[in-house]
């Protein structure tokens, strides 16, 4: 009997097990959204207006328990989340409407604040500035794809990941899905949990000197620079992140230059085309350098020296230059000094002797005599990049800004030199405007500014550890103090007749020796003027498919002379 009993019971257990497996399979086959539909339907009262009473929870117990396990939340949270999804077709859900959906009075719903706050902390919902509940699109997507919302990673973030999280927090604030204080709380928590990168270190240092509300401005500037390539921001750009009252207060303080961000040299005025406009501001370069040190540094444009452009040695086209004997010897000596083989050795020996190791050179002479091109070719042949100072961008209409600009030029150049590698050349082209004679007893602000710029340059030339070349046409306007600080002074004369002949032959190889000699003897041209004539000749040959005649070439020469203010009687070969 015992054997028979066991024999009879085994099939029964098999059938029960099959049934349980079927039930389990059926439960697993239902998606998250399907279970939410089932919960909503089972809990829907006969009177639709009375909402989905939370007290009716037993009717949907199986689906609620299943979702509770899947989503790892309490049964009450499942019900509240279901009601929110039910209302998610709207941009946001008023708390009172949500209470009605759950069949609760508003006050009674507030007793479930702990559960609601738990959903918010896990990222399932957000509370906007009006106190309404918002279902993030990303959450709804996860639920539709039958996957729980993944916990938001808070630790182990590098600088780029941390910046992305700041962007996310600002975007949420921009969409009015959180308050300003919640934004600050989240970002500051991220800083605390991820202290070991340049973004956290820099921001936490700045936070010590600014009030909490100004942190929003700091984050906005970081975001717009890093993600929007925008380094010219106004207060309209900040309006998405600040309440209207806070925005008005900060704007007022900014106009009076009372912002802590201003007082602590975190931000500065900026503008376009070298003109500073007080309506626009940005993070100072040195602040950005600290913040973005672990992200690859600043934009390529900002790696150039302020108020200057960078020209790589490899980008300079080779060009044959012809000099008179004296300037040729001087240029040759300078090139020998700048060569990689000699430069470092000379600097080291001068340093050991207690001498200054900076090299300052003045190229002076008439226009078109090859001063600038010589600087370019010295840089190319010695493998040194050129930092070409834009004098127009140095000078600003704002008091004190010009001095900051010229100081920034030398500060950035010094950083480049200290970084190692081949020492670059700092080129002040057409330097008359800022190397002029200093004035005494000045009263006008513009004159005081000129003197301040010159004093800064004089001191920087004293302390220079690199290479500075200045070119000028007007040596009579050069201050004596500047003259004394130039180690090398090379005067560029108009080319001699022999040099002019070589220039003509180099630029027009088809010329005979006799024709080149004739042109050199009859026209007092600089190398730049000869190049102008050759360019006109080339343009004609391209346009008309033929080389200009000798008469036409002489015509170009006469035009160039008239352009230079010289009249000549008609001549011919």
pLDDT of residue 334 exceeding 80: yes
Which is more confident, 319 or 151? 319
Query: Which tokens hold the place of 484?
Result: 């004394």
**Residue position matching structure tokens 């979702």:** 67
Which of 251, 270, 303 is where one domain is finished?
A: 303
pLDDT of residue 390 exceeding 80: no
pLDDT of residue 436 exceeding 80: no
Query: Which tokens hold the place of 209?
Result: 């000197």
Residue 504: which of 485, 521, 487 has the closest Cα? Answer: 521
Note whether residue 451 is domain-resident: yes
Rounded to an integer, what distance in angstroms lies between the CA atom of residue 230 and that of residue 232? 6
Note whether residue 464 is domain-resident: yes
The reply to whether 459 and 544 lie within a common domain is no
pLDDT attached to residue 50: 56
The reply to whether 166 and 133 lie within a common domain is no
Q: Are 460 and 408 in contact (CB under 8 A)?
A: no
Residues paired with residue 308 on neighbouring β-strands, in sequence order: 389
pLDDT-wise least confident of 102-106, 271-275, 417-421, 522-526 = 271-275
Which of 303, 334, 361 is where one domain is finished?
A: 303
Note whether residue 152 is domain-resident: no
pLDDT of residue 186 exceeding 60: yes
The reply to whether 236 and 173 lie within a common domain is yes
The reply to whether 171 and 294 lie within a common domain is yes
The tens digit of pLDDT for each residue in 105-150 reads: 889 889 999 999 888 878 788 777 677 888 877 788 888 888 888 7
| Range 367-385 average pLDDT | 90
pLDDT of residue 7 exceeding 60: no
| Range 217-224 average pLDDT | 94
pLDDT of residue 375 exceeding 80: yes
Residue 433: which of 412, 449, 416 has the closest Cα? Answer: 449
Q: Are 134 and 177 in contact (CB under 8 A)?
A: yes
The tens digit of pLDDT for each residue in 46-100 reads: 555 556 666 667 788 889 999 999 988 999 999 999 998 888 765 678 888 888 8
| Range 253-276 average pLDDT | 85
The reply to whether 328 and 366 lie within a common domain is yes
In this structure, the strands spanning 126-127 and 133-134 are antiparallel
**Whole-number percent of the chain with pLDDT over 70:** 82
Which of 303, 327, 354 is where one domain is finished?
A: 303
Q: Among positive and negative, which fits the CA dihedral 220, 223, 226, 230? A: negative
The reply to whether 541 and 437 lie within a common domain is no
Note whether residue 120 is domain-resident: yes
Note whether residue 149 is domain-resident: no
Q: Are 238 and 247 in contact (CB under 8 A)?
A: yes
HSE, CB side, 13 Å, CA atoms: give it for residue 49: 0
pLDDT of residue 196 exceeding 70: yes
CATH of the domain at 140: 1.10.10.10
Going by pLDDT thresholds of 50, 70 and 90, the confidence category of residue 1 is very low
Rounded to an integer, what distance in angstroms lies between the CA atom of residue 103 and that of residue 160? 46
| Range 336-356 average pLDDT | 89
| Helices (H) then strands (E): counts for the chain | 27, 10
CB atoms within 10 A of CB 212: 11
Note whether residue 69 is domain-resident: yes
Rounded to an integer, what distance in angstroms lies between the CA atom of residue 428 and that of residue 440? 24
pLDDT-wise least confident of 29-33, 271-275, 306-310 = 271-275
pLDDT of residue 426 exceeding 90: yes
Tell me the Cα Rg of the chain.
Answer: 38
pLDDT of residue 398 exceeding 90: no
pLDDT attached to residue 206: 95
The reply to whether 332 and 478 lie within a common domain is yes
pLDDT attached to residue 256: 93
Residue 550: which of 527, 532, 569, 533 has the closest Cα? Answer: 533
Rounded to an integer, what distance in angstroms lies between the CA atom of residue 432 and that of residue 41? 85
Residue 467: which of 353, 316, 360 has the closest Cα? Answer: 360
The reply to whether 330 and 458 lie within a common domain is yes
pLDDT attached to residue 31: 92
Find the domain containing 133 and state its range: 31-144
pLDDT attached to residue 336: 92
CATH of the domain at 337: 3.40.50.300
Please report the beta strands in 366-504, taking only residues with DSSP state E, as ranges in sequence order. Answer: 386-389, 425-428, 467-472, 488-492
């Amino acid at each position: 009997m015992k054997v028979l009993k066991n024999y009879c019971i085994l099939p029964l257990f098999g059938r029960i097990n099959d049934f349980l497996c079927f039930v389990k399979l059926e439960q697993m086959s239902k998606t998250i959204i399907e279970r939410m539909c089932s919960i909503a339907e089972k809990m829907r009262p006969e009177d639709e207006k009375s909402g989905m009473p939370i007290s009716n929870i037993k009717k949907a117990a199986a689906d609620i328990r299943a979702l509770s396990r899947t989503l790892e939340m309490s049964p009450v949270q499942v019900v509240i989340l279901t009601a929110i999804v039910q209302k998610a077709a709207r941009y946001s859900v008023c708390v009172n409407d949500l209470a009605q959906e759950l069949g609760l009075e508003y006050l009674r719903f507030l007793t479930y604040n702990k559960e609601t706050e738990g959903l918010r902390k896990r990222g399932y919902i957000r509370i906007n500035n009006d106190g309404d509940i918002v279902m993030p699109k990303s959450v709804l997507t996860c639920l539709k794809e039958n996957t729980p919302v993944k916990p938001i990673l808070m630790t182990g973030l590098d600088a780029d990941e941390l910046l992305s999280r700041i962007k996310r927090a600002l975007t949420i604030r921009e969409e009015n899905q959180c308050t300003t204080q919640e934004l600050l709380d989240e970002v500051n928590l991220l800083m605390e949990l991820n202290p070991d990168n340049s973004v956290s270190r820099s921001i936490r240092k700045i936070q010590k000197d600014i009030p909490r509300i100004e942190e929003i401005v700091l984050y906005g500037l970081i975001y717009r620079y890093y993600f929007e390539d925008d380094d010219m921001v106004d207060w309209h750009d900040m309006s998405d992140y600040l309440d209207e009252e806070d925005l008005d207060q900060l704007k007022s303080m900014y106009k009076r230059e009372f912002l802590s961000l201003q007082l602590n040299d975190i931000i500065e005025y900026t503008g376009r085309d070298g003109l500073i406009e007080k309506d626009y501001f940005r993070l100072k370069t040195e602040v950005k350098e600290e913040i973005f040190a672990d992200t690859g540094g600043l934009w390529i444009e900002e790696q150039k020296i302020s108020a200057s452009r960078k020209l790589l040695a490899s980008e300079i086209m080779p060009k044959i230059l012809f000099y008179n004997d004296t300037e040729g010897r001087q240029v040759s000596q300078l090139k020998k000094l700048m060569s990689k083989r000699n430069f470092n050795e000379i600097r080291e020996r001068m340093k050991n002797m207690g001498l200054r190791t900076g090299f300052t050179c003045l190229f002076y002479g008439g226009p078109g005599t090859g001063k600038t091109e010589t600087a370019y070719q010295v840089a190319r042949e010695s493998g040194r990049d050129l930092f070409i100072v834009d004098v127009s961008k140095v000078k600003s209409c704002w008091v004190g800004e010009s001095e900051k600009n010229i100081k920034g030029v030398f500060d950035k150049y010094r950083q480049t030199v200290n970084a190692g590698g081949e020492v670059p050349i700092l080129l002040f082209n057409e330097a008359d405007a800022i190397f002029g004679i200093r004035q005494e007893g000045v009263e006008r602000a513009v004159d005081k500014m000129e003197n301040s710029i010159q004093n800064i340059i004089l001191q920087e030339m004293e302390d220079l550890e690199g290479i500075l070349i200045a070119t000028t046409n007007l040596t009579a306007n050069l201050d004596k103090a500047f003259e004394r600080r130039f180690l090398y002074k090379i005067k560029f004369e108009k080319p001699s007749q022999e040099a002019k002949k070589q220039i003509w032959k180099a630029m027009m190889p088809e010329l005979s020796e006799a024709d080149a000699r004739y042109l050199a003897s009859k026209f007092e041209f600089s190398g730049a003027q000869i190049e102008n004539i050759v360019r006109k000749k080339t343009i004609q040959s391209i346009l008309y498919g033929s080389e200009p005649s000798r008469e036409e070439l002489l015509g170009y020469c006469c035009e160039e002379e008239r352009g230079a203010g010289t009249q000549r009687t008609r001549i011919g070969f």
